[in-house]
Amino acid sequence: MTLDRRRIQTLDLAADSDTAWAHLRRPELIRRWYGYDHDGLPAEIDRVFGSTVRTLADGLRRELEWPDGTAVRLSPTGDSHRTTVTVERPSHDGLSHYDGVRDPVDEKWVADIHQLEFALAVHPGEERRTWSAVGLDAGPRQDRLLDRVGLHGVRGLPVHGHLEAVRPDGVHVGGRLVYRTELQFGLRLHGPSDALLVVLERPSVAHEANGRIDVVLSTYGLDDDAFATVAARWDAWWGVPARS
C-alpha cells in the first residue's frame, strides 16, 4: 500500500550530499540545528534519529523514514556543493493530533529544517547555543505579545524584507525575514553572531483564550559571558519570568 504523503517543505542546502547526510545522522551535528538546548535534547535526538528511523542510502538517494510516516529525502541539485532536502508527512486523515488548524509535528519539522538550512549556509562547522521561551501567553487581541515586542510588522513584510524592532531597553534589533508560513516565521538577525530567530504561534484552544507562542534564538560564536548577556536581554525583552 502506498502511503499518502504531503510535501511540507523543500529547501536548497549549502552543502554537498555527504555533509548534509552527516547532519541527519551524527548526533553531534544534529544538535547544531535540531530543536533547542534543554537537558533532554541528547535523549530526544537519540529517540528521533536512532533505531526507530529507517535509512536508505542507495547511490544518489538518501532518505530517512519514521514509523509515523514522516520522510526526509536528500537529492542532488546539479551543483556538487548543494543538496535539496524535502520533508514529507502523511495525510491528515485519521491523525488524532491534528485539530484542523495546526499540526504540531508539521510545524516542528518546518522550523527544524530551516534551522538546518541556516546552520549549513551561515555557520558551517560551528557549534550552536540557543535561547528559548516555550509556551508564552500570546496575549489578548488588543495587547498581543508580538506587538509588544515590536514584531507586529512581520505580518505585512515580504520574505527577504527587512524588519527593525526596538527592545524595552531602547536597543534596535534588525533582521531579514527568511521565511514565513501561516503559523511561524524566521528572522536572520543582524549582529556579531548572525543569529536566527524562529517564532511559532499556537492558536487559541478552548482552555487557552489567547493562544501560545514558542520562540527559539540560535546563536553561534558566543562565549559563556556573551551568551549570558544575550539570554538576560532576551528574557527581559519577551517578559520571561526569572529562571532558576
**Terminal Cα-to-Cα distance of the chain (whole angstroms):** 51
Q: Does the pLDDT value for residue 149 go beyond 80?
A: yes
Q: For residue 100, what pLDDT is reported?
A: 61
Q: What is the mean pLDDT of residues 140-168?
A: 89
Q: Is the pLDDT of residue 161 over 60?
A: yes
Q: What is the pLDDT of residue 204?
A: 80
Residue, of 63 and 171, whose pLDDT is higher: 63
Share of the chain above pLDDT 70, in %: 93
Amino acid at 79: D
* Closest to 181 (Cα-Cα) out of 89, 97, 101: 101
3-class secondary-structure state, position 155: helix
Task: Give me 84's grid cell.
Answer: 535539496
Q: Return the residue matching grid coordinates 500500500.
A: 1
Q: Is the pLDDT of residue 1 over 50?
A: no
Stretch 214-239: mean pLDDT, rounded? 94
pLDDT at 139 over 60: yes
Q: Which residue carries 538577525 as its cell? A: 189
Taking the CA atoms of the chain, what radius of gyration do you get in angstroms? Answer: 18
